[in-house]
Amino acid sequence: MSIVSIKSGGVAKSHADQIPWPQKSPAACPINAVKARLRSVGLRPTRQRMALGWLLFAKGDRHVSAEMLYEEALRAREPLSLATVYNTLRQFSEAGLLRQVSVSGPKTFFDTNVSEHHHFYNEDDETVVDIPGSEIQVSGLPQAPDGMVISSVEVIVRLRNADGQETLTKLAGGQRA
């Protein structure tokens, strides 16, 4: 549970920062870049972690759940188990390579963009999207309570269909009042 130092400026910004990621330069071999990244955070570059790292980081910003990533890996003919996907997502998050997004749906989402930014959450289809740009600002942040320290600040903007269709559908559905 330590997304530890994504923020708050100073602290131990893992070695990952030293390795510039989405490279345009064709010179740097992506495979080696993934390997270097894993090494830099103390994770052995196994076949499975390389494959997942590749899927996660080679496509720019992504919001994935364990199940989504697992299926993607299978489609890419990378045999691995679902347990490995769960382990890997957790390890990547703890290492600061990923960030967990606080949407309280049934699934846990991970974001490959660990820099400061915020999210739309579409309640109707349960998807997560970055809020574009960076105009959004949180001011008047409170002190953390005694003995505690702020580990992250997240803004979730929840969205619904404008016409409320989905909501009505849902209401009409199951055993509701």
- Residue numbers at the binding site for a second copy (CB under 8 A): 1-4, 42-44, 87, 91, 94, 100-105, 108-109, 120-124, 129, 131-133, 135-142, 144-145, 147-164, 167, 170-171, 175-177
Binding-site partner at residue 25 among DNA, a second copy, none, CB < 5 to 8 Å by type: none
Binding-site partner at residue 122 among a second copy, DNA, none, CB < 5 to 8 Å by type: a second copy
Please state the closest distance from residue 162 (CB atom) to a second copy, in A. 5
Please state the closest distance from residue 34 (CB atom) to a second copy, in A. 15
Please state the closest distance from residue 58 (CB atom) to a second copy, in A. 22
Binding-site partner at residue 22 among DNA, a second copy, none, CB < 5 to 8 Å by type: none
User: Which of these, 26, 23, 53, 48, lies nearest to 37 by C-alpha position?
Assistant: 53
Please state the closest distance from residue 49 (CB atom) to DNA, in A. 4
How far is Cα 80 from Cα 74, in angstroms, rounded to an integer? 8
Binding-site partner at residue 148 among DNA, a second copy, none, CB < 5 to 8 Å by type: a second copy
Give me the residues that bind DNA (CB under 7 A), please. 39, 42-49, 65-67, 79-84, 86-88, 90, 106-108, 173-177
Q: Which is nearer to DNA, 162 or 177 (CB)?
A: 177
Q: C-alpha 52: how far from its chain's center?
A: 13
Q: What is the 3-state secondary structure (H, E, C) of 51-71?
A: HHHHHHHCCCCCEECHHHHHH
How far is Cα 110 from Cα 129, in angstroms, rounded to an integer? 11
Phi and psi at 40, nearest 5°, equal: -65, -20
How far is Cα 70 from Cα 81, in angstroms, rounded to an integer? 8
Q: For residue 18, give the DSSP letter.
A: G
First-to-last alpha carbon distance for the chain, in angstroms, is: 38
